[in-house]
């Protein structure tokens, strides 16, 4: 039946001349099947309606796209020309705003791009079609940036930073949370709202930080590595704080309170140790030694994305951030020269 519907849709799309081609290429048995309850000598519009009915659309010109030419048809998802053109305008606006911010304002291009998104997005102009799709693309881009942050971790530079750098990163993560918490209490908010306000001040967007550090070409400097480390740590702290808000809503079990803390610390410490010291040796001893030298980069890329697909749900369902799983997957290949070149 599906083959019949597809074939009928193709005949319908061919429009004028479909009758003659059908007579040439269909055998009599198939011809009788299509001619059942239909006169092909009738008007072309009726013939097209018949094919559309076979293909899953309604008669009277409905091709399964919906009244406005967009929406979900039986043969896939379709968009209107207006939405497509608006998306192209939006991409152009993002690029122009980024160039303006970097060349005229002497600021990171990301600043202009963010402002373009705010102005044209749902908060203001609401010009962007299907904003959920753009959010999805943004989340995918964030995952790739966090992955790059893990790959770009320089272990020798981190060793130079040492314990002092880690302490600075922790203090830099906790201080904004404490300040925001104090301000919220001073303004008269309740405990739950104050904790939420503190948690929103804590995270450093690793995606934004990586974008700016890469433009400034300081990712692999001690300062850049310190910022990346701090971003990972304060994201973990903020996530733990937010997870504890559930304890303020009715009766919370000990497991609900402890699980996010143990999960986040476990993945960061144990997962980070495995990714740096155990996993590379394991794959080199079992897989990479069998791969030709010119194919090592591709093989590592495949293994890394397989690791992402395993760690993202593991961290998410363990009440940690799925971005931590992506970061650990990249961290496992921070010593890979092939991936750095790619």
Which pLDDT tens digit goes with each residue over 31-77? 444 444 444 444 545 555 554 554 445 544 444 444 454 555 556 77
DSSP for 35-61? HTT--TTS-HHHHHHHHHHHHT--STT
74-112 pLDDT tens trace: 567 788 999 999 999 999 999 999 999 989 988 888 889
What does the radius of gyration of the chain's CA atoms come to, in whole angstroms? Answer: 28
**Model pLDDT, residue 218:** 84
Say how far apart CA 82 and CA 210 lie, in whole Å. Answer: 34
Confidence of residue 24 (pLDDT cuts 50, 70, 90): very low
**Model pLDDT, residue 153:** 81
Return the ∠ at Cα 155 (arms to 151 and 157), rounded to 5°: 110
Q: Which residue in 59, 57, 53, 46 sits closest to 19, CA to CA? A: 46
Instruction: Select the more confidently predicted residue: 59 or 130.
Output: 130
Contact partners, residue 125, CB within 8 Å, separation at least 6? 119
Say how far apart CA 338 and CA 298 lie, in whole Å. Answer: 9
Contact partners, residue 196, CB within 8 Å, separation at least 6? 242, 245
Say how far apart CA 139 and CA 322 lie, in whole Å. Answer: 11
SS3 at position 252: coil
pTM of the complete model: 0.67
Tell me the two tokens of residue 19. Answer: 């009758």
User: Per this entry, what is the length of the chain?
Assistant: 342
pLDDT at 9 over 70: no
Say how far apart CA 179 and CA 181 lie, in whole Å. Answer: 5
In contact, 35 and 50? CB cutoff 8 Å: no
pLDDT at 236 over 90: no
Helix residue ranges per DSSP H, 104-253: 109-120, 131-151, 155-186, 191-201, 206-215, 222-243
SS3 at position 302: helix
């Amino acid at each position: 039946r599906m083959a019949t519907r597809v074939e009928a849709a193709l005949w319908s799309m061919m429009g004028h001349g479909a009758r003659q081609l059908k007579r040439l290429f269909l055998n009599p048995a198939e011809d009788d099947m299509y001619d059942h309850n239909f006169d092909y000598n009738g008007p072309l519009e009726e013939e097209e309606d018949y094919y559309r009915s076979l293909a899953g659309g309604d008669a009277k010109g409905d091709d399964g796209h919906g009244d406005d030419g967009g929406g979900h048809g039986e043969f896939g998802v379709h968009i209107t020309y207006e939405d497509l053109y608006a998306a192209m305008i939006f991409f152009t606006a993002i690029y122009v705003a980024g160039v303006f911010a970097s060349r005229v304002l002497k600021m990171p291009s990301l600043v202009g791009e963010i402002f373009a998104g705010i102005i044209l997005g749902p908060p203001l102009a609401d010009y962007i079609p299907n904003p959920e799709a753009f959010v999805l693309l943004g989340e995918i881009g964030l995952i790739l940036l966090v992955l790059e942050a893990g790959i770009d971790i320089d272990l020798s530079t981190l060793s130079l930073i040492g314990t002092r750098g880690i302490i600075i990163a922790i203090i830099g993560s906790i201080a904004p949370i404490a300040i925001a918490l104090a301000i919220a209490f001073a303004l008269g908010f309740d405990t739950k709202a104050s904790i939420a306000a503190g948690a929103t001040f804590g995270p450093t967007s690793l995606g934004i930080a990586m974008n700016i550090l890469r433009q400034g070409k300081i990712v692999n400097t001690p300062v850049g590595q310190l910022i990346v480390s701090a971003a990972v740590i304060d994201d973990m702290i903020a996530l733990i704080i937010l997870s504890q808000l559930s304890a303020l809503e009715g009766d919370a079990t000990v497991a609900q309170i402890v699980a996010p803390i143990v999960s986040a610390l476990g993945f960061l410490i144990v997962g980070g140790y495995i990714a740096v010291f155990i996993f590379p040796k394991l794959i080199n001893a079992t897989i990479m030694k069998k791969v030709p030298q010119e194919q090592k980069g591709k093989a590592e890329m495949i293994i890394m994305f397989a690791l992402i697909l395993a760690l993202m749900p593991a961290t998410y369902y363990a009440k940690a951030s799925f971005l931590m799983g992506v970061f650990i997957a990249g961290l496992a290949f921070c010593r890979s020269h092939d991936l750095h070149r790619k």
